[in-house]
Structure 1
Amino acid sequence: MAVENLLAKAIGLGAALVLLRFAITFFASPNKSIPGPFLARFTDLWRFYDYWCCTQTSTHQTLHKKLGPAVRIGPNMVSLSDPELIKQVYSTRGDFLKSNFYEVADASSQGQRLENLFSTRSNVFHARHLRPYQKYFSMNNILAKQHLADNMMRTLCDQLERRFVDGANAGKTVDLADWIEFTAWDLDWEMTFSQDMGFLRTGTDVQGMIHTGEMIMRYLGCVGQIPWLDRLLGKNPYCPIKFATFEHAALYCVQRVMERAAARGTSSEKKDMGSGDFLDNFLDAKETHPDTVGDNEVVSYLMMNVLAGADTTAIVMKSIVWYILSSSRDRNDSDDSVKARLVAELDAANLSFPPKYEETRDLPYLNAVIREGMRMHPVISGILERVVPQGGPGLTLPDGRVIAPGTKVGLSAWVTSRNEDTFGPEPDKFNPDRWLQGPGESDDAFAARLRRMNGADMTFGAGNRICVGRNMANVEIHKVVSTLFSRYDIKLDDSRKQWSPRWWWFTFVDNIQVKLQRRPGVPEVKAR
């Protein structure tokens, strides 16, 4: 009986301490005047559950419509919606450091946490490790690798035509979402290692790498809302639950580094920057920055290249293709539909095969379609978290309210991309013309409007942490979209399930069921 009484007292004391902590959090918070869901004021479990249910994008949009430009979604987390704050929260100076959300993306080796360019919260670490790396992502260097991307475009078209266009397979329905995904992964591995990984050739998820990447993003989105959970789960070697890791991909990268380093050691030939693949580039970085770049850093660079780039670029390309097809279907593929206008522009450009980026980069309607597809379906489903600098005056909002130093803040692209003041009427509608100069619109008015839209564009992040691979992604997007719509007549198969987004931390897309026909005058293609 005494033990039971003691246990009851202990439970009661524990409950009292929890309630006391909640009360202190509620009454002592300097941000208690910021509105938000009731439970979110006390615990991050509220937003963990929101991510677990994959409802965070709609939740953020609904809360900002109801409660205004600043919403408290955690005891120390405020979501912002005003695009004018992007340049301050995500400044090139990096005054607002990344939050502890990103610690979940640290690697782990023998009980030690290993930062990388994505996960680090240190501007010093980021600048030091970015410096040897970023020059290889200049547009000139990416274009020097364009022949590697062309290899994959030939393979894509060869596989599509063999399986879904020619002979007995003519008219067969194809899930274009899958094939765009395979293309993105093969493209990145080809440009990184000069090696065909076989996603397209086999039409499968090679070694389950795509699925692994998706599960890791699922984990990051949920556990990142309560980062200390990662110490009990993913970073805990004794946790009975085993979570997805990139162990196989890391081993592959290590093996390629060893092989290439050995081959370079026996060769007197030195490749110019850009003439080789990214593995050559990163080994060059090791030679020129030996104090910063070792074998571990080379492997980290490679992992960032193939794992961070493939999924994100695939999501963007799927979204662009889906909105072209669905909006054109709604207009019965009329001459003024998005698809018809895009195809007419591509035809008039007399593109080579595969199309060169130099041939497509200045096509106004293609660029408008790409920008609008990115706006309609941002890759990141949640908030890019930053911390209001400690020791400063806080973050002053346009309405005069102040977010206290030390508060986690951030903006969601799914909120900013729907801002009517920035993007014009009907922001939920796919309309590439919003990126073009309108009839009767002066040059100055269009330039000002375009600046506002560009300033609110978070496709590749913003500030000092903007995506280093954006040039590579743009080349791939231009190449894939222009190839598909210049070579094929593509129509949605409405008898099949269509367009199934998954609102994980990345907004993955499944099911773009289409029928393909080679357009008149387009010759068959054979892979390399």
Structure 2
Amino acid sequence: MLQELGSTLFQFVSVHATEAHLIVVGLIIAYYLVIYPFILSPLRDVPGPYLHRISRFSALNNQRTMTWVRKVDDLHKKYGNVVLLSPIEVSVNGEYKYLHDLYTKNLPKSKFYENFRNHGFKDNIFASLENDRHIKYKKIVSNIYSKSSIFSKSNTARLNIVEKITNLVKAVYKSSVDATEPDYINARSERNIHGKGYKNSDWFNKSGREKNLGIDVYSLFGSLACDVVSGFELGIENGTDLISRPEERHILVSHREVASMVFWTTLMPRFWDWVAGKRILKAMETITRWQLNLYYNAETNSPKVIEGQNLTTLQTLNKAGLKGEYAYSFLTDNIFAGHETTAIFLTYLCYEISRPINSFMQVKLKEELKSTFGTPPNRQTIIDDFETVDTLPYLNALINEVGRVHTPIPGAEPRLVDKPYLVTAGNGKNITIPKGTIISSQPFSMHRLENVFPDPNRFIPERWLKYEDESESQFNQRIMKQSKFSMPFGKGIRMCLGMNIALIEMKLAVANLYWKLSSQIDNDWCDITQYDSESANKVIANVIETGFDFVGNNQTDEEKMVMYDSYTTRPYNDECWLRWIDDSDSDSDLHT
């Protein structure tokens, strides 16, 4: 019978060759477009758009055009907690179980992270995929990054942070309050092609002020963070000094230019050089040369360590046998990520409390600082009490809310399913996700769950404080729930290595600035958005959006501070201009 069937098919193909080819092509198309995605695929029951079932193209293109974070969030709103992103990838949202299973239980990382290797594709703690390798790396350095080590008075980390915060306050006085050294470099924006000064060089200080000038706090806080993290990694004497040397801050722009290539870096690395163009390639060359100079200098001038004191990160890696480019890859990742995420945190915090609609937040912060530390005796006095600053309720509320709304890394954190994993779709159906599937949650969506964070798009620090009609038990339960769904530094053993440094650095920076100073948005830089009392109560009143669609005419502060829709975010214009005033200067017109 089979012989007869084969003979019949052969005769048909011989006589009707064209028709046979069309039938074969049709069957192949039917298989890939219908049969496999809807019948054979193990992900056939996962809800999602049709195009996501048959190809990765839609997901890749959305990431390339920087529309993916919002797209995934919209898909969850439409389809529920489990959504198909591509034939091999699923996104989960809405339940703490997913955060716990993916990140706390520590599923292996996907190859997405592998491309964060540096210096000849050398491995590092962030790029390591296998859990056992990551654990081995973490054992080497975890002690020096612990909170107790950072806070210890016997280690240099504390001195490093205080020294850099002192430089920060001095820089704000020079560039803004006294205006003896205006921020002309960033105002001209010769390197930042998104900055206002790139096409309009005469915008700066149109108001003709003699003091309290605007300064670009995004660049300033990037300098602070780079100085802190490089001093920690290499030793105080070997770190950068970008705060005191603004002419060297061009390196921050080079980092942003390279960071803009995150899609090509992580998902299409083979095309990176082709897509980058001369400007990005030059930035990459500049960064690499800058990094190697730092590392060579630190190796030549290795800090002396007294007994009982921690080594620097470079010394710690070298002691463990990781030397040369193998150590440099760790350092580069830490410095790259450490300065940029902290800069975003601080920039959005200071911007949010400088907006007219949020001015009461700045008042509450200043009241907390002065009730705790008294009135500043002079400009030179610096708050260096790590332990007290670390526990200030309203300051912590601001930090928590910035981490929720303006998460520096809002994009998905992909993991690999290492054994069949059960999820529940929006229709209540249980679905088994097979081994090898990419699975992720994105902080942007988890941080905007209405049932966890009411009015989720609004910046409301008070949600982290006890409400008047709330019992202590109710408050603790609510905060515990909010904290479970918050992941600005990640979750589980893979969470941000430098979190303890970043948090106390940010808290000390904010505390020292607002203990003495007040800030306002620079109205020479933008039109400042005002709300009347009626509109201020609306849910949308103080929302800063994500995605280029919200930039509009790029004239108002809200348009200029739109966040990039990308794995890592930042302000749309790569700048944020604020004016600062000494609270003791009653004559300043910024008080009016």
Asked if structure 2 preserves the Cα contact closer than 8 Å seen for 1:179 and 1:200, the reply is: yes
Match of 2:263 in 1: 221
Partner of 1:297: 326
Call closer, same or farther: CA 1:261–1:210 in 2, change over 3 Å.
closer
- Residue 342 of structure 2 is aligned to residue 313 of structure 1: yes
Q: Given the superposition, is the C-alpha separation of residues 407 and 205 from structure 1 closer, same or farther in structure 2, using an over 3 Å criterion?
A: farther
Root-mean-square deviation over aligned CA pairs: 3.1
What residue is the counterpart of 2:438 in the other structure? 408
Secondary structure of the structure 1 residue equivalent to 2:399: helix
Amino acid at match of 2:135: A
Per the alignment, do residues 233 and 426 of structure 1 end up closer, same or farther by CA in structure 2, a change over 3 Å counting?
same
- 1:142 equivalent in structure 2: 150
The aligned amino acid for 2:518 is D
Equivalence for 1:59: 71
| CA shift in 2, pair 1:284/1:186, >3 Å | closer
For residues 211 and 305 of structure 2, what CA distance do their matches in structure 1 show?
A: 47
Taking structure 1 as reference, are residues 178 and 285 closer, same or farther at Cα in structure 2, changes over 3 Å only?
closer
Match of 2:373 in 1: 350
Superposed CA deviations along residues 170-211 of structure 1, whole A, max 9, x for unmatched, are 0322232222222222222233332453422343564x4323
- 1:211 correspondence with 2:222: no
Q: Provide, for residues 119-138 of structure 1, a one-character-per-residue CA deviation record: whole Å limited to 9, x for no partner.
A: 12111111111111111101
**Structure 1 residue matching 2:243: 3-state secondary structure:** helix
Tell me what 1:100 maps to. Answer: 111
SS of 2:570's equivalent in the other structure is strand
Deviates more, 1:195-204 or 1:379-388: 195-204
Tell me the SS of whatever aligns to 1:71. Answer: strand
Counterpart CA distance in 2 for 1:325 and 1:401 is 47
User: Is the Cα–Cα contact under 8 Å of residues 110 and 438 in structure 2 kept in the other structure?
Assistant: yes
Structure 1 491/108 Cα, relative in aligned 2: closer, same or farther at 3 Å? closer
Residue 306 of structure 2 corresponds to 271
Aligned AA (1:491): Q
Q: Secondary structure at the match of 1:282?
A: helix
TM-score, normalised to structure 1, is 0.83
Q: 1:464 aligns with which of 493, 516, 524?
A: 493
Partner of 1:501: 563
> Is residue 152 of structure 1 aligned with residue 164 of structure 2?
yes
Which one is further off, 433-442 or 396-405? Answer: 396-405
Partner secondary structure for residue 97 of structure 1: coil
Structure 2 residue identity aligned to 1:203: P
The 1:14–1:102 alpha-carbon spacing in structure 2 relative to 1, beyond 3 Å, is farther
Give the Cα separation in 1 of the matches to 2:464 and 2:54.
42
Alpha carbons 1:368, 1:436 under 8 Å: kept = yes
1:475 pairs with 2:495? no
In structure 2, how many angstroms separate the alpha carbons of the residues matched to 1:476 and 1:12? 67
The answer to whether the Cα contact below 8 Å between 2:522 and 2:579 also exists between their aligned partners in 1 is yes
Superposition deviation, residue 263 in structure 1: 4.8
Q: Secondary structure at the match of 1:201?
A: coil
For the residues of structure 1 that align with 2:429 and 2:141, how far apart are their CA atoms? Answer: 41
CA distance in 1, matches of 2:422, 2:132: 23
Cα distance in 1 between the residues matched to 2:251 and 2:26: 44
How far apart, CA to CA, are the structure 2 residues paired with 1:22 and 1:146?
Answer: 60
- Deviations 1:362-400, CA, capped at 9 Å, x for gaps: 11111111101111111113211112223x354456944
2:478 to 440, 449, 453: 449
TM-score normalised by structure 2 residue count: 0.74
1:515 aligns with 2:515: no
Offset at 1:239? 8.8
CA distance in 1 between partners of 2:578 and 2:275 (Å): 44
Which stretch shifts more, 65-74 or 24-33? 24-33
Question: Which stretch of the first structure deviates more once superposed, 405-414 or 159-168?
Answer: 159-168
Q: Which residue of 1 aligns with 2:518?
A: 489
- Of 241-250 and 196-205, more deviation after overlay is shown by 241-250
**Residue aligned with 1:90, SS:** helix
Shift of the 165–259 alpha-carbon distance from structure 1 to 2, 3 Å rule, reads: closer
Aligned: 1:286 with 2:318: yes
- Aligned positions of 1:335-414 closer than 5 A: 337-350=360-373, 353-390=382-419, 392-395=420-423, 399-405=428-434, 406-414=436-444
Question: Take 2:77 and 2:276, find their aligned partners in 1: how far apart are those partners?
Answer: 42
Instruction: State how far apart, in whole Å, the 2-side matches of 1:298 and 1:466 are.
Output: 20
Larger RCO (alpha carbons 8 Å, 6+ apart): 1
Per-residue CA distance 1:274-320 (angstroms, 9 max, x = gap):
566x3xx4314432x33xx3333322232122111110111111121
**2:271 alignment partner in structure 1:** 233
Residues 254 and 284 in structure 2, CA contact (< 8 A), matched pair in contact too: yes
Q: Evaluate the alpha carbon distance shift between residue 427 and residue 284 of structure 1 in structure 2; reply closer, same or farther with a 3 A threshold.
A: closer
Contact 1:186 1:197 in 2 (8 A): yes
Aligned-pair CA distance for 1:154: 2.3
Q: Is the 8 A contact 1:56 1:381 kept in 2?
A: no
Identity, % of aligned positions: 21
Residues 519 and 581 of structure 2 are in contact (CA less than 8 Å); yes or no, is this contact kept in structure 1? yes
Is 1:368–1:432's contact at 8 Å kept on the other side of the alignment? yes
Counterpart CA distance in 2 for 1:411 and 1:340 is: 36
Structure 1 residues 274 and 57 mapped into 2: Cα distance closer, same or farther (>3 Å)? farther
After superposition, the Cα gap between the structure-2 partners of 1:442 and 1:255, relative to the gap in structure 1 and judged at 3 Å, is same
CA distance in 2, matches of 1:104, 1:44: 19
5+ unaligned residues in a row in structure 2: which ranges?
1-19, 181-209, 375-380, 527-556, 587-592
Distance verdict in 2 for CA 1:75–1:211, change over 3 Å:
farther
Q: Which region of structure 1 is more displaced relative to structure 2, 242-251 or 51-60?
A: 242-251
Structure 1 residue runs without a partner (length 5+):
1-8, 523-528
Match of 1:197 in 2: 240
Change (3 A) 1:130 1:297: farther
| Letter aligned with residue 115 of structure 2 | V
